[in-house]
Structure formats: structure tokens, C-alpha cells
Amino acid sequence: MKRSIYDQDHEDFRSSVKAFIAKHITPNIERWDSEGFIDRDAWTAAGEAGLLGISVPGEYGGGGIPDFRFRTVQMEEFAAVGANSFNAGTSVQDDLVIPYLVDLGTHEQKQRWLPSLCDGTAIGAMAMTEPGAGSDLQGIRTTATRDGDDWVLQGSKIFITNGIAADVVIVLAKTTHGAGSRGMSLFLVPTTAPGFRRGRKLEKLGLRSNDTAELFFDDLRLPADSLLGHEGKGFVHVMERLPRERMSIAATAVAAAAAAFEWTRTYCFERHAFGQPIGNFQATRFTLAEIATDLEAGTSLLDRATVLLNAGELSAVDAAQAKYWLSDMHNKIVDRCLQLHGGYGYMLEYPIAKAYADARILPIYGGTNEIMKEIIGRDIAARTRSQ
């Protein structure tokens, strides 16, 4: 579907994204899925093509264009070829790691990491989730303790996207015991640091070629300048930036749902049963009509949220609504598209099968959709009480 939110610059950028995908991504997707890992060369090629760090100021190697629409163009084109794993990895890089550094990093931290994150020679990861603390970040147990001028990091993280490939990890840790959300801080951790240890590469239901790992910090000593942002403000820093992460998930959901619809629409008028295309049957047409309408409504919601994000006016509630509704919509659409494929939809040689597995994580990460509803519900209650 044509998006009125885009102008010619975005469409020109789309052409370059398509060229990059045709050369570096499409020929490798099946191999990456089989091996469970994406070649580092794909990251450096993305950097050379200007697809990483578009919002980063030019002095640090980026494109200097803080317009989220360029990110949504990428997501649409990655989804169109089923490159959901590569999209997941680059989304962590561009929508989590890089914005944290741009917003909170010192000049020295930015100089050290941003150019290599933008050119793809470095890969970043964000480490918040722990075995006993997912959406409840106040339950984390990883600690960072002062020892002279240094910090000593101790603990572990789980479900960390890019964890195996990462060169730098942003880690949320407790720095003041008993202070709750006011006692957490963020740290920049090079994966070459003594005491940093990667656990097993986790086997996932979907996003098979995107590496997800356990990480361990065994008395890992960090210099004082590894602190990212303000001491004791880590939880606040995360809360302030979660809307961007949730918008990335929402945009991925719309892009992947649209791709699933396009594959299915085509399939329904190529596949014959009872002497005619299955798209000629009323039941099929009704389902396609419902999916198309859901996509139009979902795209309008995403476009509104994108405009707010670009204007710096996206609230936590806006982001929660977009993330919850669009990721649920995505799962419903992919399920119905698979059903229209019949038995072929269950075969991994068809992109809809992998899309079905890839979709299931979206209502979970970035804060579960139950947490999104709690954010929205609390806002409703607060506004009602104030009337």
C-alpha cells in the first residue's frame, strides 16, 4: 500500500535499500537461517550503504538525519524478503544502542563507539533482561560496585539480541543497594574486557539467524568513564527511551504484516482448487478484505505515532498503544495468512511459515503486551481521577 507519510527522499532511499538487499541479503537468508548466524560482512556492507546510524550526527560518522521514516523504509524492505532476523539485529543497533549513546554519551564515548557502529565494523547489544527479571526491570540482580575509581560488574543477562556478535554491550546494573529504581545505572561494556563471558547461543522458535545469548559478568572491572549517563539514573534513562524501542517493534509489526498479506494475496490467485483460483471463493475474499482493512487501520496508527516521534512528542502511552495493538494485529494477520496457504503454509520453503514463527516474539519483547495495557490503563485511571 502507498504511504502518504513518505516523500521523494524516502522513496529514493528505498531504492538503495532494495539494491543492498538484492546484493547482500536475499542470496544469504537460507544459509544464515541454517547456520543460525548472520555474516559480519552483511553488517559492514550495511554500513557502507549508509543504512546504519542514519540519525547519528555527521561528526560521529552518521547520516545526521533524525527521521524515523528512513528506519521504517528499511523495515518494510527487509520484511518484504523475509529478512526478519537481520531486521531484528539492526533494529537493536539503530533503535536502542545508538540512541542511548547519542543521547547520553560523553564526547569521548561517542568518538570511541559511534563511528564503528555506523560503519558496521562494530555491533552493539542492550542487556537488561535477566533470568528472574524480564518486564520487571526493578527486579534485576546484576550489580556494579565501586572499587576506587573503577566499577566492578557482577551478574548475568539473558535473551540478549546480538549477544554473540556484539562488540559493545549497554548493561543495566544496580549501583545502590536498596534504592529501587533510583539505584540503577547504565554501563558501556566492551566485550573484550576481562570478566566478560558469553554463554550459550540460545535456540529460538523464530528469528533463527539472529543470535541471542546469555551474557555473564565475572568481577568485570570497568574504568569510571564506562558509566553511560548519570549514576543512579539508569532506570530513568531506560524509561525515557523505551518509546523509541517500542516504536521499532510496532513498525516491524506493520512491515511484516504487510509482507505476509502481499505473499498471501498473490498465492490466493495462483493456487487453484475446485477448478478455479482460491481467491475467487467468497470466504477467501472476505478474509483478504478483513486483513487489508486491518492493515490500513494499523498503518494509520503507526503513521500518527511516527509523526509524533519525529516531533519529539511521542508519549509512553502512545508508544505502548502502537506496540501492543500492532504486534497483536501482526500475529493475527500472519495466522490467517498461513491458514489461506493451507498445508503449504506449514512448509518452511514458503516465507509465510518462517514469518509465523518470527512474529510470535513481538508481543513479548520490549515489554510484554500485558505491560503495555497496564501503562495505558494507568493513564486512563489517572486522567479519570483528575476530572
Chain centroid to CA 61: how far? 22
What string of DSSP letters covers 316-361?
A: HHHHHHHHHHHHHHHHHHHHHHHHHHGGGGGSTTSHHHHHHHHHTT
Contacts of 157 (CB under 8 A, 6+ apart): 127, 128, 129, 130, 142, 163, 171, 214, 215
Residue whose cell numbers read 494477520:
333
Which among 347, 368, 358, 330 is positioned nearest to 205, based on CA atoms?
Answer: 358
DSSP-derived secondary structure letter, 364? T
Does the annotation count 245 as an active-site position? yes
Report the amino acid identity of residue 93.
Q
Within the chain, strands assigned E span 124-127, 143-147, 150-161, 168-174, 184-190, 196-201, 212-222, 227-228, 272-273, 276-277
Query: Of 245, 262, 296, 313, which one is the catalytic site residue?
Result: 245
Q: Give φ, ψ of 7 to 5 degrees.
A: -115, -170
> For residue 222, what is its C-alpha cell?
570497568
* Structure-block grid coordinates of residue 58: 555527521
| Strands 212-222 vs 196-201: parallel, antiparallel or unpaired | antiparallel
**DSSP state letter for 124:** E
Instruction: At 178, list the grid cell.
Output: 536498596
Question: Which of the residues are catalytic?
Answer: 245
